[in-house]
Structure 1
C-alpha cells in the first residue's frame, strides 16, 4: 500500500500473512526512497499495490513485525478480497470473439 501527497513524502507499508499468524503483520514500511523501493519490489514480485492514504497513515504507526490491530481487520479483509478479485480476473483466459 502506498500514498503520495504534494505536501508529504511518499509512504508505503508492506503486509505479510503466514498460516500461524492471527492477523497480517507489517513486513516493511518507509518514506521517500525506501517507500519507492518497497513499491518497486512489490511490483517486481507481482504483488498488487493499493493506494489508500488513510490506511497507509494508520499502518505507518505500527512497528515492524507488529500484527494489525483488530479495528483494521475489516478494511484489510476488504482489501484482500479486492486483491483476490484482480488475481482471478488476470488468471481467466481471454475470450475470443
Structure 2
C-alpha cells in the first residue's frame, strides 16, 4: 500500500452534487476500505481522483470540476448493483 493511502466515501441521492460521507488517511483509510469490503461496497483505486478528493471534508459537495468523472463512476456502480441510472429514474 502507498505511504499516502487515502479513502473517501461519497453519497449521491439524485439531487445536487455528491457529498463526502467519510474521509481518512493511512490507518483510517485502511479501516474505511476494510469496512467497505465487508459491506460489498464498490471500491475504486484511482490515485489522481483520490488526490483531487483529499482536501474535501465530510459533508462537502464535490467540486464542479469532478462532476463528469464522479457521474461516470456512479453510473458504473449503479450498473454493477443492478439499480436504475440516477439520471433517468426521477419522477
Indicate the TM-score class for this superposition, using the shorter chain for normalisation.
0.7 to 0.9
In 1, the alpha carbon distance for the partners of 2:29 and 2:21 equals: 12
Please list every run of 5 or more consecutive structure 1 residues that lacks an aligned counterpart in the other structure: 89-97
Instruction: Looking at secondary structure, tell me which structure has more strand per residue.
Output: 1
Corresponding residue for residue 17 of structure 1:
12
Higher Rg of the two aligned structures: 1
Corresponding residue for residue 36 of structure 2:
42
In 2, the alpha carbon distance for the partners of 1:15 and 1:40 equals: 16
Please list every run of 5 or more consecutive structure 2 residues that lacks an aligned counterpart in the other structure: 83-91
CA RMSD of aligned residues (A): 1.5
Q: How many residues align?
A: 82
1:37-65 deviation line (CA, Å, top 9, x unaligned): 11111112211000010001111111210
Q: Name the TM-score, length of structure 2 as normaliser.
A: 0.79
Shift in Å, 1:85 = 2.8
Corresponding residue for residue 57 of structure 1:
51
Corresponding residue for residue 88 of structure 2:
none
Helix, strand or coil: the match of 1:78?
A: helix
Helix, strand or coil: the match of 2:74?
A: helix
Corresponding residue for residue 77 of structure 1:
71
